[in-house]
């Protein structure tokens, strides 16, 4: 029986990897422009980190984590997201002593045991960032603008930004009581998840995947209408800052986000092209998370974008991705002697940054030409005993058949400046 890739995983093949490189490199460039530096965190962490960080009542922690005991008897979990790991690292390395805001970005794989469908995998990739130490709404607007600049640089024509505020522990406490009073007469008719959330985290009943479309959920009071004055001011200030930047948004009072750590600002970039998994990117503020993971009280904010979903969206919008031609020139050797010359020239070309190929399969001349044609190599040089004797070769441009005579001794320099 042949072995196939595990359910929910995907090979990224050479014919698509250049799209990934483009998205990853553009994201890194944009983050650097905003003063963010890259952090690399472990693929697996102590399970407690996610229980405390992401939250015990979330689907991610309750149903979706890849958790196992290692050979030393420790409970280990493959990261289901990046925020908790970055927060752990921030605390462990005393980054609170650095001058703020501490701004970190990441390019990671993440793992969730979810039902596979378009845009939803068990191993997926996130490009994200986290910023620590800034309380004001300026940074909320700035991280949203990181995404806006990224989408524009990638050539996306449209994508919808939805924002909301889910308040602070003070206003949420009063709101949770109100929500419980509202749901109490209906809770027995609701799904098991909602019945559990009713006690532990009633806010999450609002975005239930099972009951979310019922009138009783749709008509529930929304936190955005019951914010305390400080949270209201923060949200109003975020809106005016986005207006100032010319970034369009809608207010969606139903965004509560699936992870427990959020406070105040939450946002998502959504699309209609990625099937039911329309959220390309999600994030928000988490002013209590650093403390709940054992660090000093520190405000934080961040987001993560699913790379698979972003690329599906880019494809749906017809964004052209050009495959770079790494191989600039094919050198065909016509004799054993010439093949040695070709091998040395290839070595020197590569040392000088020129991508090139030679025959490694013992192909005859015609077969070599066919191979170079199939690979669309833009330039060709044929070297036989005559060329070695004269010390001169023809560099042929395949696009129009034009040829330039170049001395073998000057070929590397010529290719470096002209190809």
Cis peptide bond prior to 153, omega within 30° of 0: no
36 vs 303, which CB is nearer to ligand HAM?
Answer: 303
168 vs 280, which CB is nearer to ligand HAM?
Answer: 280
Strands, sheet with 66-69, edge to edge from the N-terminal-most edge strand: 44-46, 75-78, 66-69
- For residue 57, the 8-state DSSP code is T
8 vs 378, which CB is nearer to ligand HAM?
Answer: 8
Question: Residue 286 Cβ, how far from ligand HAM at the closest point, in Å?
Answer: 6
Ramachandran class of 77: left when φ > 0, alpha when ψ lies in -120 to 50, beta otherwise: beta
Map residues 247-266 to x or -, x wherever contact with ligand HAM holds by CB under 6 A: -----------xx-------
Give the burial string for 160-182 (b: 16+ CB within 10 Å, else e).
ebbbbbbbbeebbeebbeebeee
Tell me: does residue 288 bind ligand HAM (CB under 6 A): no
112 vs 197, which CB is nearer to ligand HAM?
Answer: 112
CA nearest neighbour of 126 among 143, 141, 106, 144: 106
Question: Residue 307 Cβ, how far from ligand HAM at the closest point, in Å?
Answer: 8
The count of C-alpha atoms lying within 13 angstroms of the C-alpha of 210, restricted to the half-sphere facing its C-beta, is 9
Tell me: does residue 303 bind ligand HAM (CB under 6 A): yes
Cβ proximity of 79 and 45 under 8 Å: yes
By CB under 6 A, which span of 78-86, 92-100, 291-299, 312-320 interacts with ligand HAM? 78-86
140 vs 308, which CB is nearer to ligand HAM?
Answer: 308
- Residues between 12 and 41 that touch ligand HAM (CB under 6 A): none
Among 302, 332, 341, 415, binds ligand HAM (CB under 6 A): 302
CA nearest neighbour of 171 among 218, 252, 232: 232
Tell me: does residue 148 bind ligand HAM (CB under 6 A): no
Give the burial string for 370-388 (b: 16+ CB within 10 Å, else e).
ebbeeeebbbbbbbbeebb
CA 171, CA 231: separation in Å to the nearest integer? 8
Residue with tokens 């002209």: 418
CA nearest neighbour of 190 among 211, 164, 176, 160: 211
Among 166, 281, 290, 412, binds ligand HAM (CB under 6 A): 281
- Residues between 381 and 410 that touch ligand HAM (CB under 6 A): none
Cβ proximity of 277 and 117 under 8 Å: yes
Helix axes 14-33 and 307-316, enclosed angle (nearest 10): 110
Among 59, 140, 252, 308, binds ligand HAM (CB under 6 A): 308
Among 202, 295, 306, 333, binds ligand HAM (CB under 6 A): 306
288 vs 333, which CB is nearer to ligand HAM?
Answer: 288
Among 53, 55, 82, 137, binds ligand HAM (CB under 6 A): 82
Among 45, 81, 107, 140, binds ligand HAM (CB under 6 A): 81
Question: Residue 159 Cβ, how far from ligand HAM at the closest point, in Å?
Answer: 12
Cβ proximity of 102 and 33 under 8 Å: no
CA 407, CA 389: separation in Å to the nearest integer? 11
Nearest residue relative to ligand HAM (C-beta): 306
By CB under 6 A, which span of 34-42, 66-74, 240-248, 273-281 interacts with ligand HAM? 273-281
- Residues between 55 and 74 that touch ligand HAM (CB under 6 A): none
Map residues 89-128 to x or -, x wherever contact with ligand HAM holds by CB under 6 A: -----------------------x-x----xxx--x-x-x
Among 265, 279, 298, 368, binds ligand HAM (CB under 6 A): 279
Cβ proximity of 337 and 385 under 8 Å: yes
Binding site for ligand HAM (CB under 6 A): 81-83, 112, 114, 119-121, 124, 126, 128, 130, 258-259, 279-284, 302-306, 308-309
């Amino acid at each position: 029986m042949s072995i196939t890739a595990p359910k929910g995983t995907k090979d990224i093949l050479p014919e698509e990897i250049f799209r990934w490189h483009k998205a990853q490199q553009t994201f890194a460039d944009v983050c650097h422009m905003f003063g963010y530096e890259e952090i690399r965190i472990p693929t697996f962490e102590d399970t407690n980190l996610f229980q405390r960080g992401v939250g015990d009542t979330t689907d991610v922690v309750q149903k979706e984590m890849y958790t196992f005991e290692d050979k030393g008897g420790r409970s280990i979990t493959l990261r289901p997201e990046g925020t908790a790991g970055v927060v752990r690292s921030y605390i462990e390395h005393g980054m609170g002593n650095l001058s703020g805001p501490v701004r970190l970005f990441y390019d990671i794989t993440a793992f969730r045991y979810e039902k596979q469908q378009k845009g939803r995998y068990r191993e997926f990739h996130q490009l994200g960032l986290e910023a620590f130490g800034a309380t004001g709404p300026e940074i909320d607007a700035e991280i949203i603008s990181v995404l806006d600049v990224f989408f524009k640089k990638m050539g996306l024509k449209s994508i919808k930004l939805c924002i909301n505020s889910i308040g602070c522990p003070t206003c949420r406490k009063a709101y949770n009581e109100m929500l419980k009073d509202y749901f109490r007469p209906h809770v027995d008719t609701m799904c098991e998840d909602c019945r559990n959330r009713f006690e532990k985290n009633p806010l999450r009943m609002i975005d239930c995947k099972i009951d979310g479309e019922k009138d009783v959920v749709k008509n529930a009071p929304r936190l955005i209408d019951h914010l305390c004055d400080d949270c209201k001011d923060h949200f109003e200030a975020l809106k005016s800052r986005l207006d100032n930047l010319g970034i369009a948004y809608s207010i969606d009072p139903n965004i509560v986000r699936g992870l427990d750590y959020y406070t105040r600002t939450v946002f998502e970039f959504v699309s209609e092209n990625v099937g039911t998994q329309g959220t390309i990117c999600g994030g928000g503020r988490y002013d209590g998370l650093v403390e709940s993971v054992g660090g000093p009280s520190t405000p934080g904010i961040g987001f993560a974008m699913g790379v698979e979903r972003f690329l599906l969206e880019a494809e749906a919008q017809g964004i052209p991705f050009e495959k770079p031609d790494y191989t600039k020139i094919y050198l065909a050797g016509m004799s054993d002697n010439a093949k040695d010359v070709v091998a040395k020239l290839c070595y020197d070309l590569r040392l000088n940054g020129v991508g090139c190929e030679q025959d490694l399969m013992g192909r005859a001349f015609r077969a070599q030409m066919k191979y170079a044609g199939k690979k669309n190599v833009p330039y060709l040089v044929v070297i036989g005993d005559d060329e070695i004797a004269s010390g001169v070769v023809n560099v042929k441009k395949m696009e129009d058949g034009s040829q330039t005579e170049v001395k073998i001794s000057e070929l590397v320099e010529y290719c470096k400046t002209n190809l």
